[in-house]
């Protein structure tokens, strides 16, 4: 049986997409009256430029049911069974639309709610690829990966709260106070939804170091297969701190660095960084 692993562009998997032959369905990013396809004809720098110029955040849109039907059909017509991974249903309509489209193909298309986003979603996709290499069936892969959702650490630390404020995710007072006092809140995903957690204070380099110390305490036992350092075009010094602390504190077989795509960048802003992995 031939199986095709697919996902939405929000997975932030970078070069792993081509290496693992992962099919990708782009979400749309809307700047003013112009629509672009995430990962196809828009870059994170386009987002920064647009926000700086207009003061507004871009809007995003899920693919339609018809888009998903067309996307799935090209694989099913090749005789493949599709396992598709969506950004959390609490963050986008993508999952519901994909589920509706999958009905057209019966047991030839499985759709999984990652209950994550960015490379948290990507971790589930990568695990699906691992299971595929081990010879599991499509049904087994879909069930085993879906069961991992509560174990995936999806968290990040933003540099500034401007984008979160513009997106209605924090108050004006919280934004000004955080920027003035150099406060950087931990944003983490629980049951598919983002919440603000501990507040770090100081430079981003110091905050990232402390964030990773906390992750080590929170997750003393973890899947050592891989971790992602995912950031929205962060400064080199910030990324280097993350690299060194991950190396010092954890024992992953591989650490993959990826840059967040336009959908994720449009919600968190420049210099946001997270280290994501699967807990035991």
What is the DSSP track for 154-223? -EEB-S-SHHHHHTTSS-HHHHHHHHHHTEEEEEEEETTEEEEEEEEES-HHHHHHHHHHHHHHH-SSEE
Strands 109-113 and 152-153: unpaired
In a domain, 269, yes or no: yes
Provide, rounded to the nearest whole percent, the portion of the chain with pLDDT above 90.
Answer: 72
Domain that holds residue 19: 2-27+62-147
Q: 95 and 212: one domain?
A: no
- What pLDDT, on a 0 to 100 scale, did the predictor assign at position 163? 53
Helix axis angle for 118-133 and 138-146, nearest 10°, is: 140
146: nearest Cα among 116, 124, 118: 124
Of 46-55, 105-114, 251-260, give the lowest mean pLDDT range: 46-55
Q: 209: Cβ–Cβ under 8 A, 6 or more apart, which residues?
A: 241, 245
- What pLDDT, on a 0 to 100 scale, did the predictor assign at position 52? 86
Q: 142 and 165: one domain?
A: no
Q: 84 and 168: one domain?
A: no
Chain CA centroid to CA 164, Å: 16
In a domain, 33, yes or no: no
In a domain, 69, yes or no: yes
57: nearest Cα among 159, 158, 162, 160: 162
Determine the 3-state secondary structure of 15 from DSSP. Answer: coil
In a domain, 39, yes or no: no
Q: 81 and 140: one domain?
A: yes
For the chain, the domain total comes to 2
Residue 52, number of CB atoms within 10 A of its CB: 8
CATH number for 100: 3.40.50.10440
In a domain, 194, yes or no: yes
- What pLDDT, on a 0 to 100 scale, did the predictor assign at position 131? 98
What average pLDDT does range 151-155 have in this prediction? 96
Q: 139 and 192: one domain?
A: no
- What pLDDT, on a 0 to 100 scale, did the predictor assign at position 179? 57
Could you tell me the pTM of the whole model?
Answer: 0.92
Residue 111 has pLDDT above 80, yes or no: yes
Q: 113 and 179: one domain?
A: no
Q: 99 and 172: one domain?
A: no
In a domain, 57, yes or no: no
Using one digit for the tens of pLDDT, what is the confidence trace for 202-236? 999 999 999 999 999 999 999 999 999 999 999 99
Q: 119 and 183: one domain?
A: no
Query: Who wins on pLDDT, 52 or 138?
Result: 138
Q: 23 and 98: one domain?
A: yes
Among 147, 167, 202, residue at a domain's last position: 147
Distance CA 205, CA 188 (A): 19
Using one digit for the tens of pLDDT, what is the confidence trace for 14-24? 999 999 999 99
Among 93, 124, 147, residue at a domain's last position: 147
Q: 197 and 248: one domain?
A: yes
Q: 176 and 268: one domain?
A: yes
In this structure, are residues 222 and 279 in contact, taking their beta carbons and an 8 Å threshold? yes
In a domain, 111, yes or no: yes
Please provide residue 255's backbone torsions phi and psi, each rounded to the nearest 5 degrees: -120, 120
Among 115, 147, 179, residue at a domain's last position: 147
Q: 139 and 178: one domain?
A: no
CATH number for 219: 3.30.1180.10
In a domain, 46, yes or no: no
Residue 134, number of CB atoms within 10 A of its CB: 9
Instruction: List, in sequence order, every beta strand (DSSP E) within the chain.
Output: 2-8, 23-25, 28-31, 34-37, 59-61, 80-86, 109-113, 152-153, 155-156, 183-190, 193-201, 222-231, 254-259, 273-279
What average pLDDT does range 88-108 have in this prediction? 96
């Amino acid at each position: 049986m031939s199986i095709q692993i697919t996902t939405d562009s929000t997975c932030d998997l970078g070069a792993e997409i081509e290496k693992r032959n992962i099919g990708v369905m782009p979400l749309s990013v809307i700047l003013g009256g112009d629509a672009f396809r995430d990962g196809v004809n828009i870059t994170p720098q386009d987002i920064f430029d647009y926000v700086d110029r207009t003061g507004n955040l871009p809007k995003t849109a899920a693919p339609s049911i018809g888009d998903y039907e067309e996307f799935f059909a090209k694989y099913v017509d090749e005789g493949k069974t599709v396992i598709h991974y969506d950004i959390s249903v609490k963050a986008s309509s993508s999952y519901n639309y994909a589920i509706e489209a999958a009905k057209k193909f019966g047991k030839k298309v499985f759709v999984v709610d990652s209950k994550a986003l960015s490379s948290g979603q990507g971790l589930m996709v990568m695990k699906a690829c691992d299971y595929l290499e081990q010879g599991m069936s499509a049904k087994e892969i879909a069930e085993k990966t879906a069961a991992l959702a509560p174990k995936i650490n999806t968290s990040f630390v933003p540099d500034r709260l401007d984008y979160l404020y513009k997106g209605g995710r924090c108050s004006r007072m919280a934004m000004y106070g955080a920027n003035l006092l150099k406060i950087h809140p931990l944003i983490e995903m629980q049951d598919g939804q983002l919440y603000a957690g501990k507040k770090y204070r100081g430079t981003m380099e110091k905050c990232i170091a402390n964030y990773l110390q906390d992750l080590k305490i929170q997750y003393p036992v973890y899947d050592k297969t891989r971790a992602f350092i995912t950031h929205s075009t962060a400064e080199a010094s910030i990324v280097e701190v993350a690299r060194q602390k991950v190396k010092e504190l954890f024992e992953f077989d591989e650490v993959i660095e990826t840059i967040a795509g336009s959908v994720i960048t449009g919600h968190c802003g420049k210099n946001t960084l997270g280290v994501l992995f699967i807990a035991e």
